[in-house]
A and B are shown apart, each in its own frame.
Chain A
Amino acid sequence: MKISYFPGCTLKTMAKNFEDSAIASLSFLGIEMVELPRWNCCGTVYSLTSDDLIHQVAPIRNFIRVKEARDTRVVALCSMCYHTLKRANKLVKEDKEKLDKLNNLMYREDVKYNGEVEVLHLLEILKNEVGFNQVSKKVKMPLKGLKVAPYYGCLLLRPPEVGFDDPESPTILKDFLESVGAEAIDYPYETECCGSYNTVVNVNLVVERAYDILSFAISQKAEAIVLSCPLCGFNLDNRQKEIKEKFPDFKSVPVFYFTQLLALSLGLDEKVCRFELNFIDPRPLLKSKHLIGGV
């Protein structure tokens, strides 16, 4: 099976470990993720004001690219891309007038968008199309003994019309972790905001948020965090440097993209996981669990 894939900005740079591990894993599971030709930025945040149509052009234009690729579905990995694409799509599917205005704004496009495209997140594909039980069957190296705290953040699940799981007590990452043989840790901050883009101008806010989230997970014996958003990834992983400066007793914890754990459990070459791009090096932990080679 083939599916159109929308990468977004950060999966091509800082979160290349997310992209590479996803493409390799899905290919192993029989799904070819075909990158959309000429994709453009989704806008990162969904415009919440009623009259702001111009910022809906970017996400909607990507659906024209999907149509040109003769597909009706597009999969995103990044939670922010998923959220923005999904909501923009919902807006125009429910409001013909806005859709017409948007098509008129994009007068240089040959194809008109009429709401034909469906936006999916990779976790949905794993759950509903591959099936977690099928993932389990393909696992060559169960991540036995690895205690991982799922972190959903905001935009994957909220508001409820966007999400594909219970917004207050989701289970999809827990189900995923169990399918690859890891142990999911239960803690109360799995859907708490990490501070998002405040990381650019208000590092302290993000440090406080990330410290609360990570230290609670660690107190529940989590050895690692797993997530699906490169901005959460930056705030929970890279910001551990600033957390350590503010809270010297803080003990760092590796942060994975779910696809890195998937690739590892499927027995794929460790190179596709690109662990060198994780800020807190997860390799010592994985070595101690005999999940990667070397000592």
Chain B
Amino acid sequence: MRTEISIQNLKSKFLDKVEELSEENIYTCYQCGKCSAGCPSISEMDISPCEIIRLVQLGQEKEVLDSKTIWICASCFTCVTRCPKGVDLAKVMEALRQITLRKNVDYVSPLSIPKEVLSQVPQIALVSCLRKFSA
């Protein structure tokens, strides 16, 4: 995939927003890749966790927000526990999800969940799913 990097992107408000919501310094990351190496769900992701943070550093808003990755991450905190630079990537991922959800865009609409699923899964799954996926 071709990624175009421009000075406008680097100065975008997107970066400030991610840092504000996550309270993390995005530039702390030096791309060691430990987060991606230990991520249990990386096989389902289109962009690896360390690439996500690099793309955020480069202000690539659309590419990051359109990725499957930010929705696959289930906040298991494995990367948070292991990051040698102390970056809380779970908070960065949450900030990225929130940027979409706060535009009143659902990733999963409550009404889209089939009735048979509603009666099958426990409450804990439904509440957490909608907390993470619905606007």
Within 8 A of B (CB), among A160-175: 160, 167-168
Query: Does chain A have a CB within 8 A of B132?
Result: yes
Taking CB atoms, residues of chain B closer than 8 Å to A13 are 122-123
Taking CB atoms, residues of chain A closer than 8 Å to B77 are 154-155, 158-159
Q: Do the beta carbons of A10 and B22 come within 8 Å of each other?
A: no
Query: Does chain B have a CB within 8 A of A196?
Result: yes
Binds B, one of A42-50, A252-260, A268-276: A42-50
Task: Give complex CA distance A25, B91 in Å.
Answer: 38
Taking CB atoms, residues of chain A closer than 8 Å to B117 are 200
Q: Do the beta carbons of A192 and B125 come within 8 Å of each other?
A: no
Q: Do the beta carbons of B41 and A195 come within 8 Å of each other?
A: yes
Q: Do the beta carbons of B122 and A15 come within 8 Å of each other?
A: yes
Task: Give complex CA distance A46, B23 in Å.
Answer: 15
Q: Do the beta carbons of B127 and A196 come within 8 Å of each other?
A: no
Query: Does chain A have a CB within 8 A of B1?
Result: no
In the complex where A10-B124, A13-B123, A230-B124 touch, is A200 in contact with B129 (Cβ < 8 A)? yes
How many A-B contacts at CB < 8 Å in the complex? 126
Query: Does chain A have a CB within 8 A of B133?
Result: yes
The size of the chain B interface, using a CB distance under 8 A, is: 38
Most chain B beta-carbon contacts within 10 A, residue among A15, A49, A168, A202:
A49
A156 to chain B, nearest CB (A): 11
Taking CB atoms, residues of chain B closer than 8 Å to A168 are 81
In the complex where A41-B127, A201-B129 touch, is A49 in contact with B21 (Cβ < 8 A)? yes
Taking CB atoms, residues of chain B closer than 8 Å to A234 are 121-122, 124-125
Taking CB atoms, residues of chain A closer than 8 Å to B123 are 9-10, 13-14
Tell me which of A49, A196, A209 contacts B98 (CB under 8 A): A49
Taking CB atoms, residues of chain B closer than 8 Å to A231 are 122, 124-125, 128
Query: Does chain A have a CB within 8 A of B20?
Result: yes
Tell me which of A52, A160, A167, A193 contacts B74 (CB under 8 A): A193
The size of the chain A interface, using a CB distance under 8 A, is: 44
Q: Do the beta carbons of A201 and B108 come within 8 Å of each other?
A: yes
- Binary interface profile of B, 80-93, with partner A (CB < 8 Å = 1, else 0)? 11000000101100
- Binary interface profile of A, 37-61, with partner B (CB < 8 Å = 1, else 0)? 0000101110111111001000000
Q: Do the beta carbons of A199 and B125 come within 8 Å of each other?
A: yes
Within 8 A of A (CB), among B53-82: 72, 74-78, 80-81
Q: Do the beta carbons of B40 and A44 come within 8 Å of each other?
A: no
A54 to chain B, nearest CB (A): 12
Most chain A beta-carbon contacts within 10 A, residue among B20, B21, B121, B132:
B121
Query: Does chain A have a CB within 8 A of B126?
Result: yes
Tell me which of A14, A154, A201 contacts B78 (CB under 8 A): A154
Q: Do the beta carbons of A48 and B131 come within 8 Å of each other?
A: no
Nearest residue in A to B126 (C-beta to C-beta)?
Answer: A200
Taking CB atoms, residues of chain A closer than 8 Å to B20 are 50-51
Apart from the given pairs A13-B122, A50-B22, A197-B132, 11 other A-B contacts in the complex at a CB distance below 8 Å: A48-B90, A48-B94, A49-B98, A159-B90, A168-B81, A193-B76, A197-B128, A198-B129, A200-B113, A205-B41, A231-B125
Pull 7 A–B residue pairs with CB atoms less than 8 Å apart, ordered by A: A43-B127, A48-B75, A154-B74, A158-B81, A196-B125, A199-B121, A231-B128
A residues engaging B (CB < 8 A)?
Answer: 8-10, 13-15, 41, 43-45, 47-52, 55, 78, 80, 154-155, 158-160, 167-168, 191-193, 195-202, 205, 208-209, 230-231, 234, 238
